[in-house]
Structure 1
Amino acid sequence: MMKKTAVLFIAFISFTACKEKVKPENISKINGYWEIEKVNLPDGNEKNYKINETVDYFEVKNDSGFRKKVTPQFDGKYLVNDEYEKVKVVIEDEKIFLEYATEYSKWKEEVLEVSDEKLVLKNEAEIEYEYKRPTPFSVK
């Protein structure tokens, strides 16, 4: 029994140690279009998204910028409006957060992972949002 516990503990440590911490120099990878692929709820349930009516567009420079919801069109372009959320990049306790602000509300999300193809954010309710780069489509 003790051997099994030790093996599980070592496997857990190895798994968590392999997860690379988000580095401030990688924040620029947030820029661009992202669509939600999956939402992981704190109770262990998940919701997968096959089709998204909107896509998030991030533009962050010098630790501040904005996020907009845009609507993909059949010609491969995006429909935009004047609504946006101000974004500020903040580092707290060696973690990277995106702080959002509108005239109505303020909130923040922790950046758990960011690469050229994947973005994972966790909000204050412990809900994780997994994003992927959208695949352009056209009906020409």
Structure 2
Amino acid sequence: MEKTFAMVKPDGVKRGLIGEILKRYENKGLNLVAAKVISPSLDLLQKHYEEHKDKPFYDDLIRYMSSGPVFAMILEGDNAVKMVRLLNGPTKIEDAQPGTIRGDFCTNTTFNIVHGSDSVESAKREILLWFPEYMNKI
């Protein structure tokens, strides 16, 4: 079974969407392996988003992700990485179709509700960042 990292971002938590989002993942056959509500440290966010550090939106992204708690989770299932990405929908609000999490709940591209790992390799890295206790389980 493939594992992936997913997260309900601060705007999703503030809007009370954790249950609805988790339900969509579970309805697609993904199993919740671990979850926690966490107010991420600056260090954790910088490590998580290190590939974006030279991009113009990086500071706004870190500020947004520091604005409140997130719901971090490990999901498991067949093609878990791809399934979460499909359920989440595209990052840009104008590309997110109704029926996807972003298409149904996003209000703008900056506040895009959810995160899902973009590859199996990224999933492993992100799981270890957010859930270091799973070091020997992935």
* More helix by percentage: 2
* More strand by percentage: 1
Which gives a bigger RCO, structure 1 or 2 (Cα 8 Å, sep 6+)?
2
| Structure whose alpha-carbon radius of gyration is higher | 1
TM bucket normalised to smaller: under 0.3
**TM-score, normalised relative to structure 2:** 0.22
